[in-house]
Amino acid sequence: MASKTRSVDTRSHSRLVVDGLKQAPARAMLHAVGFSDGDFGKPQVGIASTWSNLTPCNMHIEELARLAAAGVEAHGAKAVTFGTITVSDGISMGTPGMRYSLVSREVIADSIETVVGAQGFDGVIAFGGCDKNMPGCLMALARLDRPAVFVYGGTIRPGANKSDIVSVFEAVGGRAQGTVSEQQLKFVERTAIPGPGSCAGMYTANTMASAIEALGMSLPNSSAQDAISSQKRDDCTRAGAAVVNLINLGLKPRQIMTRKAFENAITVVIALGGSTNAVLHLLAIASSAGVNLKLDDFTRLGKRVPVLADLRPSGRYSMSELVAIGGIQPLMKTLLDAGLLHGDCLTVTGTTLAQNLRSVKPYAAGQDIIRPLRDPIKKDSHLVVLYGNLAPQGAVAKITGKEGLRFRGRARVFNSEEASLQGILTGKVRAGDVVVIRYEGPKGGPGMREMLSPTGAIVGRGLGSQVALITDGRFSGGSHGFVVGHVSPEAAVGGPLALVKSGDEITIDAERREITLHVAAAEMKRRRNAWAAPKPYARRGALAKYSKSVSSASLGAVTDLE
């Protein structure tokens, strides 16, 4: 790590809270929670913990947060741990509760900002496990712009027969189809989730952890460690030392999270074959950091960055297997050497990305999890931004090439996720259909639910290569197949998706980056005149407030646009 090279006020925030005669009441309160007289002269570091025993992703984070706090205090600062929420996507998926998933990202960001701002912490360590924890933490760190490190809770190990949570969703479809027995379904249900950690493939949690490491906001290899491992424990202790070093340097998140750093994050997400949710979340984090990132930046970078990782859901391997061969650091070194990463970006080590990667060795010969640049899985990005008369403001597809690059079919329209799942499981959806799930966008859902239950059921019924699915909602990182989400503008605000009727012809063309509804303009005008906006799902509370303030998915679905 770099050392302190200039005079920095390491207590610029905490001194306003604890110094001087008038702050005696504050000191009295802090004595009660364990502060000694000597602690008031130290920089204060807030440890934002997303611990909860409601999900495997976060059930171990309490212990990790204690290790980080010990690391902080071993290096001369005072640690104060506080909690924020998590919700479980895997548990709420396919239910009304999933509406709160994306909402939780904003609640996490707001709550961390609120506590750190109120308490006057000089630095922050933020822990995330489940999907929305990570962008929520990064949004808060960008807003606060105080020395900070993000720590990922780590990946879960695969279950029996290399199963994971997606295996369970797909087994549900197989049970409906009759290809999976009740006994087989029960076995998968009981063995797919063996303990702590985030979902096992390159789904949203591992995607975002990798993106944050590439962004420079976590320590090298923090994204590629098993949740229960000595490496993850050491990562937490080192994060404590790192944040104190950042305080001494005066190095803040917005100096790290630059446009070049976001380009690095996008590049790594593409190379890993990561989740479409990365598009939504990186747009949101960039907004908080004051970086003007756009959907078209994903297209621009995607033209020159290949998919190299053979990871689930589209590939064969789990994150734990990538961990075993060295994580993402050798991949990043390969990308850097090829001129695909900006090596001059600063990171939370206090040094640049290129300096961090200087001594990284390549993957051992014989592994086939990460392909060489000369032999990619796909020569350009799997994240394809589509435009057309069905998505004037854009939509995001995940096209690995295994699904094909073009799909034309007849619309099978559903006005909710529940209705679509019922249609799939009862055989209403057939080969050649384009399943349309609408009124699930940021405002209309509200909360932009993930469509893992429908996509899992489609795959489970053996229709994965014969059916496309488009929605103004999102997809889980575990979804695969010919799927298009984030359709903007969404149906609830009168976007063209609201005007589609079952039987309409739709073309999705990944090569031309177009999504087209084959309906005459005059007919579309007639349908628009007859359309009425649906009633809001919620009139009071968190969902109602979110629906009123949230922006389009094409802008990251943020709630604090200027």
- List active site positions: 476
Pair of tokens at residue 543: 């969902």
Taking the C-alpha atoms of residue 315 and residue 273, their distance in angstroms, rounded to an integer, is 9
Q: Where are the alpha helices (DSSP H) in 219-373?
A: 230-249, 253-256, 259-271, 277-289, 295-302, 319-324, 329-337, 353-357
Taking the C-alpha atoms of residue 145 and residue 257, their distance in angstroms, rounded to an integer, is 10
Q: Is 340 exposed, middle or buried (0-12, 13-18, 19+ CB in 10 A)?
A: buried
Residue type, 399: I
- On whether the CB atoms of residues 477 and 204 are closer than 8 A, the answer is yes
Q: Is 212 exposed, middle or buried (0-12, 13-18, 19+ CB in 10 A)?
A: buried
Taking the C-alpha atoms of residue 263 and residue 265, their distance in angstroms, rounded to an integer, is 5
H or E, element range at 139 = helix 133-144
Taking the C-alpha atoms of residue 264 and residue 549, their distance in angstroms, rounded to an integer, is 30
Residue type, 240: G
Give the DSSP letter string of 48-106.
EE---TTSTTTTTHHHHHHHHHHHHHTTT-EEEEEE-----HHHHTTSGGGHHHHHHHH
For 352, the 3-state DSSP assignment is strand
Q: What angle do CA 364, 129, 43 make, to 5 degrees?
A: 100
- On whether the CB atoms of residues 134 and 128 are closer than 8 A, the answer is yes
Taking the C-alpha atoms of residue 512 and residue 518, their distance in angstroms, rounded to an integer, is 16
Pair of tokens at residue 152: 């990922």
- Burial pattern 145-175, b for ≥16 Cβ within 10 A else e, equals ebbbbbbbbbbbbbbeeebbbbbbbbbbbbb
Residue type, 551: S
* CA dihedral sign of residues 442, 492, 458, 510: negative
Taking the C-alpha atoms of residue 225 and residue 21, their distance in angstroms, rounded to an integer, is 47
Residue 229's φ and ψ, nearest 5 degrees, are -165, 155
- On whether the CB atoms of residues 473 and 448 are closer than 8 A, the answer is yes
